[in-house]
Amino acid sequence: MKPITMFYLDDCGYCAKAHKALEELMQEKPEYRRIPLTKIEESRNAELADTYDYYAVPSFFDGKTKLFEAHLFMSYEDIREEVRKVLEYALK
């Protein structure tokens, strides 16, 4: 199982969608709850965030390898599917 790091902002609508997707997916597939997931609020951890290569949040990483980075106009369904892929990746 791989540890995952998620960068987000409190006032980010796309991040809110990712948080909702995480909750739903973890309810649907309880084994996702075992994944070590570190959530880092970017504005409160700017120095750490600057050491990662991403432009937008939410962004998910395995170490320094980017797994998913949101982009403008993503629907909830799109974000949910990308978050699901991250969780599946982490289980392997």
Tens-digit pLDDT profile for the chain (92 aa)?
Answer: 999 999 999 999 999 999 999 999 999 999 999 999 999 999 999 999 999 999 999 999 999 999 999 999 999 999 999 999 999 999 99
Please list the alpha-helical segments (H only) found in the chain. 13-28, 46-49, 76-91
Neighbours of 91 (CB within 10 A): 12
Give the range of the structural domain holding residue 13, as residue numbers without chain letter: 4-77
* Number of other residues whose CB lies within 10 A of the CB of residue 42: 20
Q: How many domains does the chain have?
A: 1
CATH, residue 72 = 3.40.30
